[in-house]
Chain A
Amino acid sequence: MLTASETGVRIYNLGPLEQVPLGEGRAFLVGSTPVAVFRPRNGKVYATQALCTHKGGPLADGLLGGETLVCPLHAYRFNLATGQPVGHECSALRTYAVVVGPDGCIRLALP
């Protein structure tokens, strides 16, 4: 869960969830940090670093299947919840805590 009391973290309001089409992702520039926010059809919301650890592919343009993210450039897969690589050896994605508030806006915590 997200609370401002978490030490050092800063919480950003990314605006309404609808900005991100259902089943897709979009990139946000949060302060100076590029972040990819995903809205798969399983109803959850996830956030990871914006660029693929393989060769910098734009992850927000990827395909989603449940908790799995497929990078658009070379189809390497990652787990959205953990950021862990699936079936390859590239390093894991940084993930960020994210929730949709009662106001329907996306809230994201940056360390």
Chain B
Amino acid sequence: MAAKQRLVLIGNGMAGARFLEELTSLGGGEQYDIVAFGDEPYGNYNRILLSGVVSGTHDPKDIFINPLSWYREKGVTLHAGVRAGWIDRDSKKVYAPNNIGETYDKLVLATGSQPFVPPLEGLTREDGRFKEGVFVFRTLDDCSAILAYAQQAKRVAVIGGGLLGLEAARGLLKQGLEVHIVHLTAHLMDAQLDPSSAKLLQRAMESMNIHVHLEKSSTALLGNECVSGIGFKDGSRLDCDMVVLSAGIRPNVDLARASGLTVQRGIVVHNDLSCRNDPNVFAIGECAQHNNVVYGLVAPLWEQARVLAERLSGKNPQAVYRGSRVSTKLKVMGVDLAVMGDKDPRHEEDEVVTYVEPSRGIYKKLVVRDGKLAGAILLGDGQMTPRLLQAFDRSELLPESRSELLFSLGEQSQKLSVADMPDDTQVCNCNGVSKAKLLAAIKGGARSLKAVCDATRAGTGCGSCKPQVQAILEWAADGLVAEDPSVHYYVPGVPLTKVELVRAIKGQDLRSVSAVFAVLAEGREDAASKLGLASLLKTIWGKDYEDERDARFINDRVHANIQNDGTFSVIPRIYGGVTSPDQLRRIADVAEKYQARMVKITGGQRIDLLGLPKESLPAVWQDLGMPSGHAYTKAFRTCKTCVGTDFCRYGLGDSTGLGIQIEQRFQGIESPHKMKLAASGCPRNCAEATTKDVGAVAIEGGRWEVYVGGAAGSKVRKGDVLCVVDTHDEVMQYMGRFMQYYREQGKYLERTYDFVERVGVDHLRQVLVEDSEGMCERLDAEIQAAINAYVDPWKEADHPKHPAQFVRELAVVED
């Protein structure tokens, strides 16, 4: 491999750091020795959250993206708190104070911008520093200074009524100051808003008690050491003891200019982001000027960082940046404002659609060009914002009826045809797979849904994008779509359908996962097939199943849910969501004793202790003295309940009692996928029973509707009524029958909402209610056997399956 090149980055802000992330993730660390200069003495943080820091909604420590340690891990040498002072492009060297000198083969400039400070009389003191109480708003240090001073200030004036000024003003209001905004022109945010929307925005700000002063040109800051007011051109003045300057930004380009790079408003770059007059120097972010545009938002610089990383890492040497369509939201609590693209029509033919409702401060304006969204202002009502942002980003063709764009009429017009979907559209939002990536895979020979998904990881997250992937496949593979046989296999690693597999397993008496691989897969063990086989073998053999722990996912080895940091979450069973002071006390004690990072009420009417290390699990369970809630596994999870006849004035049935009975009966029953139940005391359905895998709803006349196949997760589906019965026992009998049938007939990881749709509710009624196949008795017996075989997995706290079952790390002494 060739000797490493040297890559030097100047500017460790949002663009610079994002570029490093992208580059290292593309293996750039192997090709380059990477050195970065960052003027700010930190790793790097999310600048756009500074508004939140000022308003107190974010703690400074929460806005960091990469701490200094990250740079070490990635092998990046970071000169933190060091300002690069001079670039010598002949010797390809960057110089900085304390005679630091770094040579480069490739140089990336991401120096961002700095606040524009208007020439105000009396701005500074003799020593050249700002007067006491005068601040700019750009960095974390600025924020800390602002917050500190705000404690003792009373009246602050923010100079500049743009996006940033307004966010600063709102923040300072939350700090308890009297806030004034001083703005040069006749309306706020004039860069993004038209007069009418600006007026409404002004009203919204004023209704929060922010005083707005328009057409005021500030000329002087009053006071000697400390600021005491602002003097205006028209002779008037505004008293205040604090001033925040937010009058726009200027790109940091001095360094580039001094080194002879072409600089206009920003550093001029080509589509490959290299500087006009030096192919080895690149610029990204707010300091760069790409075909006459200098951006002031993050979205464009993320695209730039990506493109440059792909080029320099060699991942995609042809990658080019073609400019961005910018949109932004005002992060001011209590004001819902989103703007994108042009605020006004530009051509004769442009079509303008507006809806105004002054009383409620609602203003919606769309600029439509060639049937596409060229710009929009959305104030006071955000319900359509996501839809319009998408239409704008992807330059979708808009539906004929414009009203669909102003008001949500349900799900319609969401689907955009895959053909005119731009290539960079993200199709799989879980794994960030674009249409382009999918097309590449298809060109590369992937001809079936499975092949495309394997090649790109699309659809391997929540799976909700699979239909779209399929559509793209069919569209792009022009007729060549192959139905690959493996989609019919029960598990990928054993070439048999479920029926064939079950027959083989029973016929050859295979009771363990390893035995199946040995006999049916020529000894080839396939990790991806283990879990499915384990679940199948268990339903076939019951207690005679030979349980090999290595065929379980980690969650099922330690009976807890693994977290993104390798710790685990513990959810004890709380029958029907009904707890007691004693239980709560024990949970609280455990949470404190083992320092759970978070104690959370779950969506399943119980309590989650999050962030516990593996080795503490057994002790946690023992101290809790409560059974497992199985929140980590494919099994019966919970039965949500409502208060029902016990308390509710509408209650028609004892939903709480039923729910508790159900949960006691079916707890921990394994199944192809998780089963979540609920029991509601009347059709108001407060326990959401109609959108659960299995649910019961009490109706007039003391009867119960039994629902199956409901869902309200990644997919929403109203369950079908299986039957209507009179007693709790009957409810549980039919529920049990359905569960057993699902356990036998369902595919691994097939949730009931898919299962019920596949077999059809009519079929289910015949088999499970009319007993058309005479199997009800057997089903009832089988589920009863499964119930009898139930043991609380948390008992393994006392009898671990293996001495190292809960060990996280075995330390070692040297030989």
Contact = CB atoms under 8 A, between A and B. Distances in A.
Contacts of B554: 61-63, 72
Contacts of A65: 493, 525-530
Nearest to B315: A89
Size band of the A side of the interface?
A: 35 or more
Contact of A11 (B525, B529, B811, B815): B815
A27 B809 contact: yes
B550 interface: yes
Contacts of B807: 26
A41 B569 CA distance: 29
Interface string A63-78: 1111011101101010
Contact of B564 (A27, A55, A69): A55
B457 interface: yes
Contact of B804 (A20, A41, A90): A20
B551 interface: yes
A19 B814 contact: no
Contact of A12 (B455, B460, B805, B812): B812
B810 interface: yes
Contacts of B493: 65
A19 B25 CA distance: 35
Nearest to B805: A21
A104 interface: no
Given A63-B527, A65-B525, A65-B530, A73 B812 contact: no
Contacts of A70: 527-528
A89 B26 contact: yes
B550 A64 contact: yes
Contact of B809 (A34, A40, A56): A34
A26 B27 CA distance: 28
B346 interface: no
Interface in A17-68: 19-24, 26-31, 34, 40-42, 55-58, 61-66, 68
Given A11-B815, A87-B454, A21 B802 contact: yes
Interface residues of B, number: 43
B549 A58 contact: no
Given A22-B550, A65-B527, A65-B530, A28 B814 contact: no
A64 B804 contact: no
Contacts of A31: 812, 814
Contacts of B457: 87-88
Contacts of A89: 25-27
Contacts of B812: 12-15, 28-31
A10 B566 contact: no
A73 B810 contact: no
Interface in B522-541: 524-531
Interface in B502-534: 514, 524-531
B790 interface: no
Contacts of A15: 810, 812
Contacts of A55: 564
B809 A41 contact: no
A91 interface: yes
A24 B553 CA distance: 11
Contacts of B813: 13
Nearest to B811: A29
Given A19-B804, A29-B810, A87-B457, 16 more contacts: A14-B812, A19-B810, A21-B804, A21-B805, A26-B804, A26-B807, A27-B809, A28-B809, A31-B814, A41-B514, A63-B530, A63-B550, A64-B527, A65-B526, A72-B554, A91-B30
14 contacts: A10-B814, A12-B814, A13-B813, A14-B812, A26-B804, A34-B809, A41-B514, A63-B530, A63-B554, A66-B525, A66-B527, A70-B528, A72-B553, A90-B25
Give the 5 A-B CB pairs with smallest separation, nearest first: A23-B550, A65-B527, A58-B566, A61-B554, A27-B809
